[in-house]
Amino acid sequence: MSVAMRVAMDVTPLRLTQAGTARYIRNLRQRLDVQPVDFGGAGRASVLARELWWYPFRLSALDGETDVLHCTTYYGPLRPRVPTVVTVHDLAVFRHPQAFPRWTRTYVPLAVPRVLRAARSVIAVSEFTASELESLLRVPREKIHVVPNAVDDAFTPDGPRADGNYVLAVGTLEPRKNLARAIEAVARIGVDLRVVGARGWGGVEARGANVTWLGEVDDDELARQYRGALCVVYTSLYEGFGLPVLEAMACGAAVVTSAGGATGEVAADAAVLVDPLDAGAIADGMTDAIARRDELRPRGLGRARLFSWDDAARLTQHVYEGTA
- Going from the N-terminus, what domains does the chain have, and what CATH number goes with each? 7-150+308-323 (3.40.50.2000), 166-304 (3.40.50.2000)
The CA-atom distances, in angstroms, between 26 and each of 20, 49, 72, 256, 319 are: 10, 24, 11, 27, 18
Average pLDDT of the chain, as a whole number:
94
In this model, does residue 1 exceed pLDDT 60?
no
Global pTM value? 0.93
User: What is the model's pLDDT at position 64?
Assistant: 72
Confidence of residue 3 (pLDDT cuts 50, 70, 90): low
User: What is the model's pLDDT at position 2?
Assistant: 46
Closest to 123 (Cα-Cα) out of 241, 208, 13, 224 = 241
In this model, does residue 42 exceed pLDDT 80?
no
Q: What is the mean pLDDT of residues 62-75?
A: 90
User: What is the model's pLDDT at position 319?
Assistant: 98
Percent of the chain predicted with pLDDT > 70: 99
Q: Using the Cα atoms of residue 249, residue 30, residue 84 and residue 62 in order, give the sign of their dihedral.
A: positive
